[in-house]
Amino acid sequence: MPDVRVLVDATAVPDDRGGVGRYVDELVPALVRAGADVVVACRPSGVGALASSGADVHEVPDALDRRPVRLAWEQTGLPALARRVRPDVLHSPHYTLPVAAGLPVVVTLHDATFFSDPQWHLPVKARFFRTAIRVAVARADALVVPSAATRDAVLAAVPSAAHHDDRFHVAWHGVDRTVFRPVDEADRRRATAAVGADRPPVVFLGTLEPRKNVVALVDGWVRACADLADPPPLVLAGARGWDQNIDDALARVPDRLRVLVPGYVPLEDLAGLLGGALVVAYPSLGEGFGLPVLEAMACGAAVLTTRRLSLPEVGGDAVAYTGTDAVAIGDALAGLLADPQRRADLGRRALERAAGFTWDASAAVHLTAFEQAIGARRRRRGSQPRSSSPSR
């Protein structure tokens, strides 16, 4: 469907461009490469990231950085913008949509753990996204999900979705190989030093929140390092979330071990940090996709993760797996630290598997979803009875 005109509502993308931001920033140029005519609505903070995408970027007021304002604009300002730019389809890439859009709508649902594991989220956030998912299932013409696990979880959580399971399109994320790629030793040393490590570390990359299982990782790493004469530091890279137990876990770390918490790591340093790690440990309790695992794989890292939800779809047989408790993580991590040959083999297999995840392939699935949405809307219009009133 190369000539489709799509309006992408990127106003919900956070300023740090992580997660959903990475998804939108990579998907938009891939849609353009596929021949779509793309219009993007975004806040001022996103204009730079999308300026070279090839899309027609429409800047909206900066006040939309406040959620209530953005949600109100979504219901009124977004349909008004759609009337001006006249797209064939609207893509809402972050759960919510205008209830009276006036055109076909495709919504991306990234995660269903708001239903299955609400304790991983702030209560107000869990309630909000459960409602948003139900509304999207009821009103969207097509739905995009990043994994089969997320599709199945939505189908299990929202019974009405089972009547329209053909509307779900599984579009795995891709990985930007201009950013996430094997780098030389000098870049690995530089990125490692930039976070304060003086030797190859064990690295976690992600938001420090309960579902990432960081507390169990810290305790497991302590266990893995108990008998090592030269233990690797642990780097917890990413924004601080709302996990109140992490500080207690860090306080339990013996003085001979080092934990580094550098916060946000610049994008240009990630390939060196991930590729320079002895192990990238991501023992998450569940993900809608698991982009940090894929990004680490694309850098040739030996990855340790879990078999929860979507993570095996990403890792396949190219990563090592562990249970989610501290003992299991510690034992699995100790085994990898003691076996450089296995780590090297995992790194090679990770590179090969990561090559199969591309944003162009993801864009192709999105285009199929757009086509389905447009066709569904046309069929509904065609089935409506004609008015008996004379036309004016």
CA dist., res. 53 & res. 74, Å (int): 23
How is the beta sheet containing 168-170 ordered, strand by strand? 56-59, 37-42, 5-9, 89-92, 105-108, 142-145, 168-170
The torsion angles phi and psi of 217, rounded to 5 degrees, stand at: -65, -45
How, if at all, do strands 142-145 and 105-108 pair?
parallel
CA dist., res. 117 & res. 314, Å (int): 21
Three-state DSSP state, 205: strand
Give the Cβ contact number of residue 137 at 10 Å.
Answer: 23
- Two tokens, residue 104: 């076909």
Each residue's pLDDT expressed in tens, for the chain with a length of 392 residues: 558 999 999 998 877 666 788 899 999 999 999 999 999 999 988 888 898 999 999 999 888 888 899 999 999 999 999 999 999 999 999 999 999 999 999 999 999 999 999 988 889 999 999 999 999 999 999 999 999 999 999 999 998 887 778 899 999 999 999 999 999 999 999 999 999 999 999 999 998 989 999 999 999 999 999 999 999 999 999 988 777 899 999 999 999 999 999 998 998 999 999 999 999 999 999 999 999 999 999 999 999 999 999 999 999 999 999 999 999 999 999 999 999 999 999 999 999 999 999 999 999 999 999 999 999 888 877 655 443 333 32
Quick one: which of 136, 97, 131 has its CA closest to 9? 97
Q: Determine if residue 196 is left, alpha or beta; phi over 0 gives left, psi from -120 to 50 gives alpha, anything else beta.
A: left
The torsion angles phi and psi of 267, rounded to 5 degrees, stand at: -55, -40
Query: What are the DSSP calls for 262-292, one per residue?
Result: EES--HHHHHHHHHT-SEEEE--S--SS-HH
pTM greater than the 0.95 cutoff:
no
Same CATH topology for 5-174+358-378 and 185-354: the answer is yes
The vertex-285 CA angle with 263 and 340, nearest 5°, equals: 70
**What pLDDT does 48 receive?**
86
CA dist., res. 299 & res. 348, Å (int): 10
Residues 115 and 130 sit within 8 Å (Cβ to Cβ): yes
**What pLDDT does 388 receive?**
36
| Amino acid making up residue 324 | T
CA dist., res. 172 & res. 154, Å (int): 16
Cα Rg of the chain (Å, integer): 22
Residues 136 and 163 sit within 8 Å (Cβ to Cβ): no
CA dist., res. 49 & res. 53, Å (int): 8
Instruction: Give the C-alpha distances (Å, rounded to integers) separating 66 from 57, 69, 71, 367.
Output: 20, 5, 9, 30
Output DSSP code: residue 208: B
Topology of the domain comprising 185-354: Rossmann fold (3.40.50)
CA dist., res. 297 & res. 312, Å (int): 13
Residues 154 and 133 sit within 8 Å (Cβ to Cβ): yes
Topology of the domain comprising 5-174+358-378: Rossmann fold (3.40.50)
Domain range summary for the chain, segments of one domain joined by +:
5-174+358-378, 185-354
Residue that has been written with the tokens 């989610």 in this structure: 324
Instruction: Give the C-alpha distances (Å, rounded to integers) separating 193 from 229, 256, 272, 301.
Output: 21, 19, 10, 18
By 3-state DSSP, what share of the chain in percent is helix, strand and coil, each rounded to 5? 50, 15, 40
